[in-house]
């Protein structure tokens, strides 16, 4: 797939971050955030952001992370989460700080946030990819959101902590010699299309638990830490047919 080829042709961590922003911008993003956190404590391990320095300074100064809904949802199941700014009213806001965060984000041009959560580098961490745009959700079609999820899967696979170079992104697939089954290839191909486990299960007529077991088996065969990494390895090794 061209999407994965673009990431794999990038030589450095900085190049992959540039590609990630270009891919998301082509889908309507004005900024991109990628972060990994500890699920239990919500402690931020690392983050990369292309939001303006003005917004990030204000976010830190006012400690908006304490009322950020994306942070609050870190421990929830891995599914996309959509939030629209400039909509919260004083009568329904949980607090004044929630109201300030909602409207400050809107004032700075970020009216839509679409968060996708993925498995982190360990079972105790979660990686979040947030697509930010200056358009309302009503102006995005379901087809566009599907493309955003597909791109988010690739971003989660290739974007690592700031400063990590090519040597830290191991896509050699030492276990790639262990042939993937037909079912494993099917599931990975649908994952590459941005499908969630429930959609993959529906498309293949199997139980969701079977999807999870299949992805785990593929990860083990490919020597991958996460399913997104397994997908990247499989694409690089030419193991999937699209």
pLDDT score recorded for residue 126:
86
Q: For residue 162, count other CB atoms closer than 10 A to its CB.
A: 12
Q: Write the DSSP string, 172-186.
A: --TTTTSPPPHHHHH
14-47 per-position pLDDT tens digit: 999 999 999 999 999 999 999 998 888 888 899 9
pLDDT score recorded for residue 112:
95
- DSSP label at 193? T
pTM: 0.84
Contact 31, 50 (CB under 8 A): yes
- 177 to each of 157, 174, 239, how far by Cα in Å? 21, 7, 10
Q: Is the pLDDT of residue 175 over 60?
A: no
Q: Is the pLDDT of residue 74 over 80?
A: no
Retrieve residue 209's tokens. 């638990």
């Amino acid at each position: 797939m061209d999407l994965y080829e673009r990431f794999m042709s990038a030589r450095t961590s900085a190049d992959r971050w540039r590609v990630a922003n270009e891919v998301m911008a082509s889908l309507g993003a004005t900024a991109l955030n990628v972060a990994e956190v500890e699920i239990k404590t919500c402690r931020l391990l690392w983050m990369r952001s292309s939001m303006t320095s003005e917004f990030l300074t204000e976010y830190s100064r006012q400690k908006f992370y304490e009322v950020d809904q994306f942070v609050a949802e870190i421990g929830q199941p891995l599914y996309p989460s959509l939030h629209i700014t400039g909509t919260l009213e004083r009568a329904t806001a949980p607090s004044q700080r929630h109201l300030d965060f909602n409207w400050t984000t809107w004032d700075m041009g970020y009216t839509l946030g679409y968060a996708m959560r993925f498995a982190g580098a360990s079972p105790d961490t979660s990686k979040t990819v947030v697509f930010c745009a200056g358009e309302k959700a009503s102006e995005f079609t379901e087809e566009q959101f599907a493309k955003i999820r597909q791109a988010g899967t690739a971003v989660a696979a290739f974007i690592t902590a700031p400063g990590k170079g090519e040597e830290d992104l191991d896509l050699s697939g030492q276990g790639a010699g262990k042939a993937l089954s037909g079912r494993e290839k099917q599931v990975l191909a649908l994952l590459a299309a941005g499908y969630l486990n429930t959609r993959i299960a529906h498309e293949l007529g199997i139980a969701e638990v079977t999807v999870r077991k299949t992805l785990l088996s593929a990860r083990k065969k490919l020597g991958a830490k996460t399913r997104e990494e397994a997908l990247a390895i499989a694409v690089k090794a030419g193991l999937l047919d699209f």
